Structure 1
Amino acid sequence: MTKTALITGASRGLGLALARSLAADGWRLILTARGADTLRPVADGLGALALPGDVADPVHRDRLAHAVRDHGGLDLLVNNASGLGAVPLPPLAGYPLDVFEDLFRANVLAPLALVQTFLPTLRERRGAVVNISSDAAVEAYEGWGGYGATKAALDQLSNVLAVEEPEVAVWWVDPGEMNTTMLADAVGPDDAAAAPGPETVVPTLRQLIEERPASGRVSHS
């Protein structure tokens, strides 16, 4: 039976790299990201369904739910889409609270909402959830308090979900530094260029998906 994956933030970076790998192995893909102009060519090239939009928007999440139903269910949910927050990275003492609230909506509420939406089909198909985390969730990096707090919250949601849903594999993955647009926005393009490409993380993700180890936090190294 052909397996189906929904990948958020799939137009670039790690989401795109994973989508390419899964497509090469015959997975049916539903891809979403905010930039339609970038997402559609990617999806067309992979034979995937493109549904551009913001996962923080409940109307868009409903569209994703309809698409999954039309595809007969879901085997893998990858919560990769993520916001960075205020840039330049501010100290917590001056962090704009409206930006902080929006960041939690994108990085914590949206992944949980998608999990809630797709748990019935993931339970039925003994599926899996991959939540992309960060070392900023567990380390104290100056300026990264807002982003790190959202990833710490996502880690704990994943941790509890793994206990509550034993039929569903749940992994929260710290990919380490990657040469992505987000990292370039945070530290500058020159420093970001020194980091490994996101494709280097894909073997770690594929190993989880194929071998299905126990749920837990995974650090790519």
Structure 2
Amino acid sequence: MARPTALITGASAGFGLALSRALVQRGWRVIGTARRGERLASASEELGTAFIAIPGDVTDPAHRALLAEAARNAGQLALIVNNASRLGPSPLVRLADYPLDELELVYRTNVLGPLAIVQFALPLLAPGGSVVNISSDAAIEPYPEWGGYGSSKAALDQLTAILGAEHPELSIYAFDPGDMRTEMHQAAFPGDDISDRPEPDMVVPALLRLLAEKPKNARYAATDFAVGRVS
């Protein structure tokens, strides 16, 4: 029986790496991409031949073409996870002072990149396949200084909801993993101690449960699928 294949962006660190590791351990093949080639190479060395590393930026059409070619060569995809994200300026700034060129980069990475991935990958999804776009509580809560990142994730949530309505035969979700002990979260709070946040691999089981249960297309948080929670 052929192993299922996942395409995961932002796979070199944090939640993307933790998810890639969990899937490979469960017999999956993962096409992983990220901007930082050295870190992606390190992930590939750890995970072995089941991890196909393709370094590059999801905002780059030429890079997306390489991802599309790799996905076609792998055969049908069972899962697409748009995890790559751009925080914006660090420290975070208020919208009145937000550099518009930085905001454009945030939107290109957090909104247009995921949509472009979905556009080429949807035809490659196996029947009953899943798409997961990684969201944030900043998409629904008006946190001061989170306007750039939060509004981009709100836009991604709406894109995800519409894709889910347009493709009811697929499982399409926005997934909010909550605060995690990641490099990006640290960049949002420079100098602060974030050691009380869970490691990404502690959140992965919630996403795996979402994928196993396949509820209706919607937005979900990790707390909705916490291990031990009764559905």
Length-normalised TM-score, structure 2: 0.93
* Partner residue, 2:210: 208
Aligned counterpart for 2:52 among listed residues 49, 68, 81: 49
Q: Aligned residues: percent identity?
A: 53
Distance 1:189 1:112 in 2: 34
Q: Deviations for 1:174-220, whole angstroms, at most 9, x for unmatched residues?
A: 11110000011111254322211111110111011222221111111
Distance 2:25 2:7 in 1: 15
Aligned counterpart for 2:68 among listed residues 65, 68, 80: 65
* Partner residue, 1:180: 182
Q: Deviations for 1:130-169, whole angstroms, at most 9, x for unmatched residues?
A: 1000000000111000000000000000001000001110
* Partner residue, 1:84: 87
* Partner residue, 1:11: 12
* Unaligned ranges ≥5, structure 2: 224-231
Q: Tell me if the contact between 2:90 and 2:190 (Cα under 8 Å) persists in the aligned partners.
A: no
Distance 2:190 2:106 in 1: 21
Specify whether residues 189 and 50 from structure 1 end up closer, same or farther in structure 2 by C-alpha distance, changes over 3 A only.
farther
How many residues align? The count is 220
Distance 1:30 1:125 in 2: 19
Which runs of structure 1 show a deviation greater than 4 angstroms over 4 or more consecutive aligned residues?
none
Distance 2:149 2:5 in 1: 30
Distance 2:154 2:15 in 1: 20
Q: Tell me if the contact between 1:74 and 1:125 (Cα under 8 Å) persists in the aligned partners.
A: no
Q: Deviations for 1:84-119, whole angstroms, at most 9, x for unmatched residues?
A: 011211100111111111110000000000001111
Length-normalised TM-score, structure 1: 0.97
Q: CA RMSD in A?
A: 1.0
* Partner residue, 1:31: 32
